[in-house]
Structure 1
């Protein structure tokens, strides 16, 4: 009777993280559409929530990477405590960066939390996999987002150079409905899947899922999808202001270019099973798009603060997770 209770507690923590992920990263999908007035905030959030819901079912490769490719958690209480501590570290980092309006990576907070807890428990961290599946994509995705965003916006400016600006803006406001939905769909493929991977890890170490099974239980995907969608609908207004207005004042063509670029980066990464940051993808795309106007158009001071939050995400979440593991170890008595 008692064996399922620790697993249920870890799953509840995972859903708590998933919810914070939803409202923390809601800005990723809709900030540009709201700031350009292509969509009203509530309509944008509802659309993003639905797109997140459906996207979650197509991210099983990412779920497997997070659930079995990052750390080895021993079966039993120690493994469950590692999962719990990792989630606490990720939740703490999400709340801290949300409070300061910094668009940091929930994905990297989760991976950093799991890594920090595993190190504190003297468990195995697959550093090769972390480097190949996390660090390299973490470096590459913002660079790609910056370059492709610049190129897409340059192409738009050239193609519509003889069209009346008012007509162009109206057309791209409609187009942003599609690009924002694609961005939200990509967010669901990435971020809901990561939480599903942690839930599967908890089920495995708790004895409720076979380590040899490659399948993600349907109820795990459904639960992750529903919770992240609810969190998305709650909105993340502090971060939305940063992405939509503080980096650069966006117009509809720029918003469409940024969202399309970021969505493409997410789709490609999901296909390879790489758990990249949706935050990195959209933020770098916005910077690339803004650079077509002029380098001075981008508020690089704000960008510097955002990049600083990116750098400290892994160690920040990891340290909180390590401390949480040591504290939980004393409480649980393992």
Structure 2
């Protein structure tokens, strides 16, 4: 480790020079918290993340408050972020009503949330996979007409708690449908954290063979079995340059009880900096932000890097 608390950079061949981190801590990270986080704390969290150099920060979700009470303050939160310059603030929109709410507040980037498996589509959206895609079609179409950037999340790309391993071809079919619908980019979700590097490579290879450009694919790994960084490295080796991560490792999935936390942004940045890959993120500021947020939540950060750099105790 260097004197500044950073890893020594030793570049490896075949990796991209820069990675864009899609920070999900303020939305995906907080949505499963039992205690409601005050709106002002959420706003400060996003501002601190931006100050640490993160340029894409998923702000909130325009979902019905009944389903995700933690994000019931979307209308109050989003205007508090209007002073952020040069920062993308995507929001999740589950349906046309959610899109209406996002448009009314001037959002420029939205995301829809599909499933690769029937069981999770039923649990999360009370629809079949194809019924969910049909629901998203007018949402994506209207968003594109309004010149919004649209991201398509795809859950259960590697394993499903009810169905087990998910066939690669099944995932490719839904990815293709989302792109054909008009999504600008995809996020491949390992919702219960069961992916391994070979599986990641197989899916990315199959997507490329189906004509899905790598530059329109991001990855979203959970660290349930400690594989998130290994899986990320495998994705980078296949040309992926967008990686989802959550500051401090916050988050899980309220509809998949076996899902544990997201890949911690600090752990990701530590690895990328060690590989000589640019992220634009100040690791010290980011770690301090996550330590601060952990304090607001009343517990230590689960991120190993945050604990190492801020000397938090278990």
Q: Does the alignment reach a TM-score above 0.5? A: no
Q: Could you tell me the TM-score, scaled by structure 2's length? A: 0.26
Q: TM-score, normalised by structure 1?
A: 0.25
* Structure with higher helix content: 1
Structure having the higher Rg: 1
